Amino acid sequence: MNGILKLLKLRSIKHKLKAIFAMLVVLPIIIIGIYAYVVSRSNVTELTRASMQGSAEVIFNGVEMGIKRQADVIKFFSYEEAFRGALDHADADPYTLSAVMTETIEPLIWYYIGSDSDIDEIHIYSERIAEGRIGDFLSYPEDDEIKEWYEMCRGENRSIWVMNEKGEVYIIKSLLDAATTSKMIGMITLKVDKESFFSSTTSNRYLDNGLAIIDSSNKIVTRKELRSSELDRKVIEDILEGKYADNDGFMSTDDYLIIKAGEMENGWKLYYYIDSREMLADEITILLGDLIIAITILALGFVIASQMANRLCSRIEGLNIIAEDIKRGDFEVCIVDEEKDEIGQLYDAMISMASQLKAMVDEIQRRNERELFLKESDIHYRDWLFDFVVEKNNDILAIVDAKSFGVEFLTANAADILGIPSKELFKDIRNINIVQKPGTEDRLSIIFERCAQTGKVEIVDEIKLHNFMNNTDLYYRGAVACTIDDSGRRLAIALYDRTQEIKKNHQLQEAFNAAEAANKAKTNFLANMSHDFRTPMNAITGFTLLIEKHSDEPEKVREYSRKISLASRNLLALLNEVLDMSKIESGKTTLDIKEMALGILLEEINSVIGYQAKTKRQKYIVNTERLEHDVFLGDKQRINEILMNILSNAIKYTGEGGRVEFTIIETESATEGFRDLTFIVKDNGIGMKPEYKERIFEAFSREDSHVNKDIQGTGLGMAITRSLVELMGGTIRVESEEGKGSTFTVTLRLQAVDEADVGFWKSHGIRRILFIDSNHSECEQLAEKLNNDGVDVMEAPTGFGALHLIDVCQAEDTPVDLVLVDQKVQNMTAPEIVKNIRAKDKSKSATTLIIVMADDFESIEDEAKEAGANDLLQKPLFISSLKQSLNDIAKRIMKADHEEKENPLKGMKFLAVEDNDINADILAELFAMEGASVIRCVNGQDAVEKVKSSKEGDFDMILMDIQMPVLNGYEATILIRGLKDEWARKIPIIAMTANAYADDIQKSYDSGMNAHISKPIDIRVVEKTIMEFKKA
């Protein structure tokens, strides 16, 4: 206290503040430092414990995973039924055992030894073989140690971990017979590579740690020593004496800290320990840190106290300076104090006094200057108004010397507008040439020089300039006049801004050009459409005339009718393309997203494209890469349309004997749950010119070339394809070279559907499938999916091997339910394999299903089916295609047992509402052919009256046209549904109309109709729709 009083008696304010602030800082620092040391020491102890616990758990889990992994390897070999069966009969048939070892077991052993660094060796011992060994990995148990292990395995079916005298670690397990699994026929051993297996135990951890793993017989399996070997021996002795046998978790002594991590699956126990002295270094570090912090805070406190003292003194000195300035008559006070304390109030008073004195002096001076200001203000206002008007309109005015062309006056906005420094313009106005764009008008420098020489006024209607600073085009109208005054000859230059006006004119011109281009495209499209529509129309009218002339020749009538049907379908396809484009452009196209099987989609596409390629003797190849899924969520119809457009074009624009390659690739997507499907269509056809490749996706675009002049098309196919791809959020691109071919790449992001389908296979009685295919990768990919569905899959690369497997399965009473035979198998053809399998089938009903997989199944279809194949499938094989084939086989069997002989429409009565006589006649004839009768109404009102006057049972259904006079189909349906008769409200009404948009279909349902069929009428589609209501 006396020291503080002495400090307060110091005369200097600065020294007093420094001393008091320092004292107030020292005491709290000492208290906080002691507290921080105690807390930090506790945290170090807890941190050490947590680190030891974490490290022990990591090592424990790593070793535990290694134990399970090697145990799984042992189990894998012990479950090999073919090997166990061969080993069980080794005394009678050693050759089969040798073959199984060579073909199956030895490759697997080499695979595990090569792929798993934890495995040193794998060996099999059996008393079933003669003394000696078979191959590198099977031998008779001769050593005493091996015999002892062999006896340990008798009656024990689990994996056993053992150590030999050298400290080597082994896993041993008995091999049981395949038939009863009750008798031991051998033993498999796996030697562990200790250096690799226990590598996680030797890695550096927190502090200096030791580690020991003890087996169930209290032997050390592996250990890591502390730096202090004496302390490490003491810890090991305590562990082996069982000091911690009954304790789990963290324990501490005066010399060391130890954690027991628990007991592993094979009985091993892990102990993790550290030297207690390791924590002393951390405690010293904490103490030094506290001292450094204390010294730092003390120094900062002293610096802050000094700064505060200096600031207070400088404020008082500022008051002295203000007083001296006022004394000398200087009222402009430039020292300001922002504080609001007593000193700050004194500052405010001094400044207020100075301002009042200055106001008195300024008032006297202001009265003297007022008269002069009033005289000059009018001139200033005129100058300001001039600059405002000119600069706000981006006009540029200049006065220039006619000899040097140096600028005497220039509006201030010129430099910013033109992007030229003012210095360059003032130096020589002709430097404006830098920003003048080339054009028909003269350069500005020439106009300035000509005006200076002739004295005539120069007018330029349009001057094109470009500001390179902001990359902007400018348009001006210019005038240059020469004047003479007392200062000599001068040029007056005026540039009037017309940028917005001229830009609008250019935009209008561009719009006009675009409209002309669109009109030209429309004209070309109509010309092409006229030709494309006339071609099938000419065929229809021509062959109709021929039918009339040859009506008494049935063969010719059938031929002409077939060609009329073909021409009609071509005409309908052209109309559908135009309608599709119209729907896409109007935004009426919607996607029907639901589950779709990729295999069935490709089967439908390949059946059409494969036939088209065959007619032109082209090679059509389908490839798949990394396909992990078969079912996706997407619009199957639209994806089919996209791929059919591209593939049909590839066939169309590739000559006879050419090549078309179709590749499907599945890759990971950035969106969770989705996959990217890439479809690549590559051909070696005529290709495209570079300029047409840029326009291929434009509507109504067709390449004008002598090579493809005979190929029909609307020019809408690729435009529709791109629109559908973009509607699905995908991408499409093309690469092409004229004369070498084209490659189209479509990428779609679709949601994959993962689901097991065990019920399907059980319902068809499929429990075991045999693949006969030399391509192991294809079989492996399909086998994985089938195994997930609970189906047992076997594989045979050759025909003889497959026949042997079938014999084995029949002998074990586990027959093969389905055989999939590849077209190309070594030694035997697919029909030969099928014939041999059927010969082995003991049942006359041929319960084993056989399906042949082929790239070109038409070449072997007859021979394969004659041999006994149930079906043929196009490669590559998909699970969905296989399921579809099995369903088809089941339906054929059911149809053979329950074939419906009666015509489904026979005897039905229909009310047809149709205003067109020709359509009505066609409809009546089609239904008459099916044994049904039709009553016709000519419009909607006629139909309503007919229903009113009829009773239930007069007709079974109503076929309603939409566009009719008097009353249309929608209105007629609403009135019929509103009748009081119950049967009128329930009778099925089917729309039969040319209106095919999605909103047209919805309007049909909204009015009360039950179904919608688009014209032209396909009797099979009508029959299918009617049968759905008939069954209901």
Question: Residues with Cβ < 8 Å from 451, sequence gap 6 or more?
Answer: 457, 458, 480, 481, 482, 491
**Six-digit token string for 607:** 């059946």
pLDDT at 387 over 70: no
> What is the band of 680 on the pLDDT scale with cuts at 50, 70, 90?
very high
Given this model, what pLDDT does residue 936 score? Answer: 92
What percent of the chain is modeled with pLDDT above 70?
Answer: 78
3-state secondary structure (DSSP) of residue 438: coil
Q: What is the mean pLDDT of residues 662-686?
A: 91
What percent of the chain is modeled with pLDDT above 90?
Answer: 7
Q: Which of 450, 480, 497 is the last residue of a domain?
A: 497
Q: What is the mean pLDDT of residues 284-311?
A: 71
Given this model, what pLDDT does residue 679 score? Answer: 95
**627: how many CB neighbours lie within 10 A of its CB?**
16
> What is the band of 731 on the pLDDT scale with cuts at 50, 70, 90?
very high
Same domain as 705, residue 796: no
Q: Which of 854, 874, 897 is the last residue of a domain?
A: 897
Given this model, what pLDDT does residue 244 score? Answer: 78
Given this model, what pLDDT does residue 589 score? Answer: 67
Q: How far is C-alpha 307 from the chain's CA centre?
A: 62
Same domain as 743, residue 622: yes
pLDDT at 758 over 70: no
Given this model, what pLDDT does residue 743 score? Answer: 93
Same domain as 1011, residue 958: yes
pLDDT at 844 over 60: no
Structural domains in the chain (count):
8
Give the residue among 48, 22, 699, 509 at the shortest CA–CA distance from 300. Answer: 22
Q: Is residue 902 part of a domain?
A: no
Same domain as 732, residue 636: yes
> What is the band of 10 on the pLDDT scale with cuts at 50, 70, 90?
very low
Q: What is the pLDDT of residues 130-150, one digit of tens each?
A: 777 787 888 888 888 888 888
Looking at mean pLDDT, say which of 234-248, 375-389, 709-723 comes out highest.
234-248
pLDDT at 19 over 70: no
Same domain as 595, residue 744: yes
Q: Is residue 144 part of a domain?
A: yes
Query: How far is residue 884's CA from residue 879's CA, in Å, rounded to a whole number?
Result: 9
pLDDT at 872 over 50: yes
Looking up residue 265, the CATH number of its domain turns out to be 3.40.1840.10
More confident residue, 875 or 581: 875
Q: What is the mean pLDDT of residues 610-627?
A: 85
Same domain as 486, residue 635: no
Query: How far is residue 57's CA from residue 63's CA, in Å, rounded to a whole number?
Result: 10
Given this model, what pLDDT does residue 490 score? Answer: 85
Given this model, what pLDDT does residue 749 score? Answer: 92
Q: Is residue 349 part of a domain?
A: no
Give the pairing of strands 957-960 and 133-134.
unpaired
Same domain as 267, residue 168: no
Q: Is residue 853 part of a domain?
A: yes
Looking up residue 151, the CATH number of its domain turns out to be 3.30.450
Q: Which residue has the tokens 């089967």?
A: 603
pLDDT at 504 over 80: yes
Q: Which residue has the tokens 């009310």?
A: 911
Given this model, what pLDDT does residue 891 score? Answer: 74
Q: What is the pLDDT of residues 247-273, one digit of tens each?
A: 777 777 777 788 888 788 888 888 888
pLDDT at 606 over 50: yes
Q: Is residue 847 part of a domain?
A: yes
Same domain as 770, residue 742: no
Q: Which of 471, 497, 523 is the last residue of a domain?
A: 497
Planar angle of CA 165, 171, 177, nearest 5 degrees: 125
With 0-12 CB in 10 A as exposed, 13-18 as middle and 19+ as buried, what is 750?
buried
Looking up residue 621, the CATH number of its domain turns out to be 3.30.565.10
Which domain covers residue 93, as residue numbers?
Answer: 79-199
Same domain as 878, residue 768: yes
Task: Give the neighbor-by-neighbor strand order of the sheet with 160-163.
Answer: 133-134, 138-139, 119-125, 184-192, 169-176, 160-163
Instruction: Enumerate the β-bridge partners of residue 213.
Output: 222, 270
Q: What is the pLDDT of residues 355-368, one digit of tens each?
A: 777 777 677 777 76
Element spanning 138, H or E: strand 138-139
pLDDT at 406 over 60: yes
* Mean pLDDT for the chain overall: 78
Question: Residues with Cβ < 8 Å from 211, sequence gap 6 or more?
Answer: 59, 201, 223, 224, 270, 271, 272, 273
> What is the band of 756 on the pLDDT scale with cuts at 50, 70, 90?
low
Q: What is the pLDDT of residues 73-100, one digit of tens each?
A: 888 888 888 888 888 888 878 888 888 8
Burial state string for 324-354 with b = 16 or more CB within 10 A and e = fewer than 16:
ebbeeeebebeeebeeeeeeeeebeebbeeb
Listed range (240-249, 482-491, 527-536, 628-637) with the worst mean pLDDT? 527-536
Given this model, what pLDDT does residue 347 score? Answer: 67
Give the residue among 642, 715, 720, 711 at the shortest CA–CA distance from 681. Answer: 642
pLDDT at 783 over 60: yes
Instruction: Enumerate the β-bridge partners of residue 872.
Output: 852
Given this model, what pLDDT does residue 824 score? Answer: 79
Q: Is residue 474 part of a domain?
A: yes
Listed range (98-112, 378-392, 984-998) with the worst mean pLDDT? 378-392
Q: What is the pLDDT of residues 974-994, one digit of tens each?
A: 999 999 888 888 899 998 877
Give the residue among 532, 460, 530 at the shortest CA–CA distance from 494. Answer: 460
Same domain as 893, residue 820: yes
Q: What is the mean pLDDT of residues 573-577?
A: 66
Looking up residue 399, the CATH number of its domain turns out to be 3.30.450.20
Listed range (106-115, 128-137, 314-323, 403-412) with the worst mean pLDDT? 314-323
The shares of helix, strand and coil residues in the chain, as percent rounded to the nearest 5, are 50, 20, 30
Given this model, what pLDDT does residue 972 score? Answer: 92
> What is the band of 15 on the pLDDT scale with cuts at 50, 70, 90?
low
Q: Is residue 369 part of a domain?
A: no
Q: What is the pLDDT of residues 796-839, one digit of tens each?
A: 888 888 888 888 888 888 888 888 888 778 778 888 888 888 88
191 close to 146: Cβ distance less than 8 angstroms? no
Looking up residue 870, the CATH number of its domain turns out to be 3.40.50.2300
Same domain as 835, residue 727: no
Same domain as 822, residue 732: no
More confident residue, 37 or 385: 37
pLDDT at 900 over 50: no
3-state secondary structure (DSSP) of residue 741: strand
pLDDT at 659 over 80: yes
**610: how many CB neighbours lie within 10 A of its CB?**
21
> What is the band of 101 on the pLDDT scale with cuts at 50, 70, 90?
confident
Q: Is residue 358 part of a domain?
A: no
Given this model, what pLDDT does residue 664 score? Answer: 93
